[in-house]
Structure 1
């Protein structure tokens, strides 16, 4: 395979990193345990792994050698790996104050899914999911902050 061919997945990885970075920037602004760089790396790595699997499947060098790659298995592997990172963000903020970091762990899973979506070349869908994720993290947080302090307390 020509080295130029190897670079064809790079724009997708960069795009996934940019989308993940947008979500990571929001987490960074809120001083969460996983921020800008972490979200970029998760999204970019997911896109790279899926793009690489597509590239290997299309490579004539491996034709007829019995090589099989199931993209859905690769998705499962990405999700399993992100689970460990997500668990780390939850434990990182525990400190006796209850469990914190669950939303950041969920945002890491979301950017992994965005990277996977880019890796499958569904660029518009990835952008739409990024916008929806940012809406959940910002707009819904704004609505939560407007809730009266005793709204969840049982009546006396």
Structure 2
């Protein structure tokens, strides 16, 4: 199971990276189109879709790498059981919030698909297509928080910073 989860986080990070390359490609296309006098309709919108996809698809791998911003002032002051209890409480809250985010992101994709919602720009893209990256990214983010919570409860979660390491 660990290999599968790590593979999922890695795949999500790769999709985020490819999305960033998509942003670069769209920006370069816009620049080249202006230099050579041709029109590239929708390139701004697609750059935006790719940027959003990159952000959402990178959430889980960033969490698993310990790179999300954490406010450790209170955690750093606690030791032993109090530290663990607060860590578990924070992970439970984050898991619930990320679950709601994933649910409502998926619901948005479904509603956009159901009503055939399209972008208002010249590209007229069916919105469920770029929105699916948000839904997938938040789903993988939710899975990553579930993973972190289970690891914490089992005492297998690795410390993310010096303050956490002092409380092990």
Band of TM-score, shorter chain: 0.3 to 0.5
Q: Which has the larger radius of gyration?
A: 2
TM normalised by structure 2 equals 0.35
Normalised by the size of structure 1, how large is the TM-score?
A: 0.37
